[in-house]
Amino acid sequence: MTEVSSGAATSYPLTPTVMHALEVSKRGCDELLVESEWLAKLARSEATGVPLRIKLGLDPTAPDIHIGHTVVLNKMRQLQDLGHQVIFLIGDFTSTIGDPSGRNATRPPLTREQIEANAQTYYSQASLVLDPAKTEIRYNSEWCDPLGARGMIQLAAKYTVARMMERDDFTKRFRTGIPISVHEFLYPLMQGYDSVALKADLELGGTDQKFNLLVGRELQKEYGQEQQCILTMPLLVGLDGVEKMSKSKGNYIGVTEAPSEMFGKLMSISDDLMWKYFELLSFRPMSEIDLMKQEISLGRNPRDCKVMLGQEIVTRFHSAADAERALEDFNHRARGGVPDEIPEVSLAGAPLGIGQLLKQANLVPSTSEANRNIEQGGVKIDGTIVSDKGLKVEAGSYVVQVGKRRFARVTLA
């Protein structure tokens, strides 16, 4: 049996269990640094029975998360299920600095009130993926606030400006004359110091976090600790199949969306994109996913597999019963029907322009979006396509539809 060194003079066997843990770790990941070190940590953990400490830090910059955020949470859960200690770190201190990752301008810091409000919902939503009973929740203000000015200066002395300027977004901004505030240099230092405070064995993050994660390794070395490994996960492509999933781009699936909306959005992704979603979002074994690919190459309808993906995700964030109802609603709508449960809205001001009606019924964000949908033939009233942007809707009760998935029963007086 092969052995691997983990420490000055200790070797541990590479058992099938250890190799399986490595396979689970690498599933869907972009990079695992340093793989040999992580393998040694896994072997030591199995031999000694001491779980590894796995850290994921998220700044509560928004009140909700979408399934793109759950890619790293899924990896945390997989490692949690292997018996390791996962640490869900809420960056209440670092949020006051503002993460410059991927930014071409200084990111405005959040107020304490915004941070506290967002943090309230972050963990409850993350708990839809993680096992709350086995998750350590920490806030980095615990060790960052006590540092004070003296401690911050001592920390800053452990990293050079030259190393900081190796960061791609800093380099581009410097070359193009875009201002870089001094406080932005503190962000990767503070994130790295989190790893020192938590004695992390592994830190997870998106590909855009690689620099910050590496800073954690270097600071642990400076503080005489064993260096953490880092594991980066790809940024999930959104529903459009082009851009990364983002609320601002409208190509996202929120983890708190209604089951039918969530299921319908998953059914809308392309057949090619479905496999990346399976790899990054599903907990099914890769052997099972590979078998699905083979079956499709032999003639199986890809829709069958997409339904399985949709039901798995809806079940995770809602329930199995909700997933079944979402499938029934989807099939019903595919046949031209109206879902059994749709929002009911009461409006006043008849006759009301169709654009205002759609906006006030929360079916579109603006009248310009309403006009765009009308031009594309995407608006129906009681099953009839609306083609007149100047239509005045008289008093009455109507089933109004925008696109394939947005419905409302509107009573207009």
Residues 129 and 206 grouped into a single domain:
yes
Return the pLDDT at 88: 92
Asked which of 285, 306, 334 is the last residue of a domain, the reply is: 334
Residues 181 and 126 grouped into a single domain:
yes
Residues 99 and 138 grouped into a single domain:
yes
Residues 325 and 380 grouped into a single domain:
no
Residues 92 and 212 grouped into a single domain:
yes
Model pTM? Answer: 0.74
Residue 207 within a domain:
yes
Q: Encode burial over 159-181: b for 16+ CB neighbours within 10 A, e otherwise.
A: beeeebeebebbeebeeeeeebe
Q: Report how many domains make up the chain.
A: 3
Residues 304 and 365 grouped into a single domain:
no
Residues 85 and 229 grouped into a single domain:
yes
229: left (phi over 0), alpha (psi -120 to 50) or beta: beta
Quick one: CA dihedral 202, 206, 211, 212, positive or negative? negative
Residue 46 within a domain:
no
131: left (phi over 0), alpha (psi -120 to 50) or beta: beta
Alpha-carbon distance of 73 to 94, in angstroms, equals: 20
Return the pLDDT at 228: 97
pLDDT, tens digit (0-9, with 9 covering 90-100), for 145-179: 998 889 888 988 888 777 777 777 777 877 888 88
Alpha-carbon distance of 106 to 184, in angstroms, equals: 8
Strands of 396-402's sheet in order across:
344-347, 406-412, 396-402, 379-381, 384-385
Return the pLDDT at 107: 52
Residues 388 and 264 grouped into a single domain:
no
Residues 183 and 313 grouped into a single domain:
no
| CA count, 13 A, side-chain hemisphere, 375 | 6
Asked which of 305, 334, 363 is the last residue of a domain, the reply is: 334
Residues 65 and 212 grouped into a single domain:
yes
Alpha-carbon distance of 121 to 65, in angstroms, equals: 9
Q: Are 228 and 216 in contact (CB under 8 A)?
A: yes
List the one residue out of 38, 26, 12 whose CA is nearest residue 202.
38
Residue 20 within a domain:
no
pLDDT, tens digit (0-9, with 9 covering 90-100), for 5-59: 655 446 899 999 999 999 999 999 999 999 999 999 999 999 999 999 999 998 7
Return the pLDDT at 96: 73
Instruction: Extract the residue ranges of the chain whose pLDDT is less than 70.
Output: 1-10, 62-63, 98-109, 336, 340
Give the domain CATH number at 382: 3.10.290.10
Asked which of 233, 267, 283 is the last residue of a domain, the reply is: 233
Residue 119 within a domain:
yes
Alpha-carbon distance of 326 to 150, in angstroms, equals: 57
Q: Which helix (H) or strand (E) holds 219?
A: helix 210-222
Give the domain CATH number at 89: 3.40.50.620
Residue 371 within a domain:
yes
Residues 171 and 109 grouped into a single domain:
yes
Residue 242 within a domain:
no
Residues 276 and 390 grouped into a single domain:
no
Residue 238 within a domain:
no
Assigned token pair, 367: 């009248």
Return the pLDDT at 31: 95
Residue 152 within a domain:
yes
| Full residue range of the structural domain in which residue 115 is found | 51-233
List the one residue out of 233, 313, 311, 241 whose CA is nearest residue 271.
241
Alpha-carbon distance of 258 to 235, in angstroms, equals: 24
